[in-house]
């Protein structure tokens, strides 16, 4: 079974962020980035999607995943004591909202290509923005 396009583009955007933000891992991650790119190109070759759409989706997911990374960075490194609980709470809510945007992009990819699975949250605070 091959990866759905929405997952490939999302994972590639995260790998790109890692390559840019963790320079010591750039060489190690290059092969993974290229594997995702090759798998995405297969979808383009099969005319399931266009390169223009892939670029658009990648840019959207890259931006959202970068914002999530920025919000999580201090929390992941154990600086919640410095941030304070109020700031941590604000960041958690912002991350939840950004994740909703991320899911919307991925659902758009699934809807427009007919490949993959709709990510549907049930009894989850972030479900409202993308209910059908």
For the chain, how many structural domains are there in total? 1
φ, ψ at 18 (rounded to 5°): -60, -40
Q: Report pLDDT for 125.
A: 60
Distances (CA, A) of 98 to 9, 12, 19, 29, 47: 17, 18, 21, 25, 30
Q: Is there a domain that residue 132 lies in?
A: no
Distance of alpha carbon 132 from alpha carbon 130, whole angstroms: 6
Domain coverage including residue 9: 5-121
Q: Report pLDDT for 132.
A: 41
pLDDT mean over 55-75: 95
Q: Is there a domain that residue 77 lies in?
A: yes
CA neighbours within 13 Å on the CB side: how many for 36?
Answer: 19
Q: Is there a domain that residue 126 lies in?
A: no
pLDDT band at 57 (very low <50, low <70, confident <90, very high): very high
For the chain, what is the mean pLDDT?
90
Q: Is there a domain that residue 107 lies in?
A: yes
Q: Residues 80-132: pLDDT tens digits?
A: 777 888 998 999 999 999 999 999 999 999 999 998 887 766 555 655 554 44
pLDDT surpasses 90 at 8 = yes
């Amino acid at each position: 079974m091959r990866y759905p396009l929405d997952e490939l583009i999302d994972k590639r955007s995260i790998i790109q962020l890692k390559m840019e933000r963790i320079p010591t891992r750039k060489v190690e991650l290059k092969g993974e980035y290229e594997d995702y790119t090759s798998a995405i190109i297969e979808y383009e070759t099969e005319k399931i999607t266009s390169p223009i759409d892939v670029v658009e989706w990648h840019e959207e997911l890259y931006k959202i995943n970068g914002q999530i990374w920025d919000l999580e960075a201090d929390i992941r490194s154990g600086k919640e004591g410095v941030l304070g609980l109020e700031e941590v709470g604000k960041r958690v809510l912002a991350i939840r909202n950004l994740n909703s945007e991320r899911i919307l992009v991925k659902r758009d990819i699934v809807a427009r290509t007919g490949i993959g699975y709709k990510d549907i949250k049930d009894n989850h605070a972030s479900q409202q923005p993308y209910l059908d």
